[in-house]
Amino acid sequence: MGRILVTGAAGFIGSHLCRALLDRGHVVVALDDLSGGFRANLPEDHDRLVFLKGSILDEELLSALFRKHSFDYVCHLAAYAAEVLSHFIKRFNYRNNLMGSINLINLSIIHRIKCFMYTSSAAVYGMVETPASESDVPVPNDPYGIAKLSVEHELRVSSDHFGLPFVIFRPHNVYGEYQHIGDRYRNVIGIFMNQIMRGESLSIFGDGSQTRAFSYIGDLIDPLAECLERKEMHGEIFNVGADHQHSLKVLAQVVLRAFDAHREIRFLPARKESPRACCDHSKIKQLFPCLPQTALEDGVRRMAEWAKRAGPRDPSRFGDIEIERGLPETWRE
């Protein structure tokens, strides 16, 4: 059992991870600035969970937290994960996703943390046509992916220089219960669900033939929760997620069926993005041979049941766009 700091804890993946860590008997200090997460995503009242509203950019707060709690482990998930938008908010992206991570790495070295778990992203691979493997040379093609890859390198160097143990995961296109469905810049499944519940047509950038391997959250939470105490995972990078790809056009029909709804599809001008994105998962399957691969229909149905209970959200707007040039029209509305 350990004392664990989870950042981004009130977010989608973070809240699932907190529940999985609590189920395993750990003590969890959950930190989140609630910029993209919700306090209600976490258990209201649990004797081994402490929730703190605060930012990973607040160095004083972090120093005090590390001093007070003597953490064994850090699970760092806090980030703003809006890949395409990151081109237009570069400064914010690097400050929040890179410098915020450096604050945590510094303190983890100083306080001799036993393992630092980091959710990087398959965005580090950039444009790849074939299933990306952990041994491929990553060439990210957006600022979000660059920040993620920089933190990966920083962890490797901190491990070499200071002996900081780490585990890095590269998830991709994760969806499920507790995901923020009201963010217009990311999470296409959530965007579709919100549009359906608001009585709107579904919007797709491009012709909808682009494919993604949509990954149900329940299929990847065990490795995230168990890596801290599994020494054979330390110092390693793992792709996690679904093997099979689906086009956005097919996805739209799957989501509509889950709501028993009919909507028009609005095809918007294409954005610069990979036509295909998928990863090789043989490395994680060697350690977790029984990881489930939930079928898209089933995962979407589970998420839809939750979304119907939670209800629609106002599509939030990012307040401080740094570059307006080339911003998709629908993001200006």
Ligand X SMILES: NC(=O)c1ccc[n+]([C@@H]2O[C@H](COP(=O)([O-])OP(=O)(O)OC[C@H]3O[C@@H](n4cnc5c(N)ncnc54)[C@H](O)[C@@H]3O)[C@@H](O)[C@H]2O)c1
- Contacts with ligand X, residue ranges (CB under 6 A): 7-8, 10-14, 31-37, 55-57, 77-81, 96, 100, 119, 121, 171-174, 180
Q: With the C-alpha atoms ordered 322, 326, 327, 329, is the resulting torsion angle positive or negative? A: positive
Closest CA to 313 of 40, 87, 99: 40
Residue 35 or 209 with smaller CB distance to ligand X = 35
- Read off the DSSP letter of residue 53: E
Cβ 167 to ligand X shortest distance, Å:
14
Give the chain's count of helices (H) and strands (E): 10, 14
Cβ 11 to ligand X shortest distance, Å:
2
CA distance 107 to 103: 7
Cβ 210 to ligand X shortest distance, Å:
15
Cβ 203 to ligand X shortest distance, Å:
19
Residue 173 or 203 with smaller CB distance to ligand X = 173
Residue 8 or 143 with smaller CB distance to ligand X = 8
Reading across the β-sheet that carries 49-53, which strands appear in turn? Answer: 49-53, 27-32, 3-7, 73-76, 115-119, 166-171, 236-240
- Tell me, letter by letter, the H, E, C secondary structure of 174-202: EECCCCCCCECCCCHHHHHHHHHHCCCCE
Closest CA to 178 of 36, 55, 79: 36
Residue 31 or 98 with smaller CB distance to ligand X = 31
CB 2 within 8 A of CB 114: yes
Residue 96 or 108 with smaller CB distance to ligand X = 96
CA distance 117 to 204: 34
Residue 31 or 227 with smaller CB distance to ligand X = 31
Residue 84 or 261 with smaller CB distance to ligand X = 84
Which amino acid is residue 247, in one-letter code?
Answer: S
Cβ 251 to ligand X shortest distance, Å:
14
3-state secondary structure of 87: helix
Query: What's the start-to-end Cα distance of the chain, in Å?
Result: 49
- Read off the DSSP letter of residue 301: H
Alpha helices (runs of H) in 70-141, residue ranges in sequence order: 90-93, 100-110
Cβ 212 to ligand X shortest distance, Å:
10
Query: Which residues are bridge partners to 30 per DSSP?
Result: 6, 51
Residue 10 or 233 with smaller CB distance to ligand X = 10
Cβ 269 to ligand X shortest distance, Å:
24
The pair phi, psi for residue 39, each rounded to 5°, is -55, -35
Residue 33 or 152 with smaller CB distance to ligand X = 33
Cβ 35 to ligand X shortest distance, Å:
4
Cβ 81 to ligand X shortest distance, Å:
3
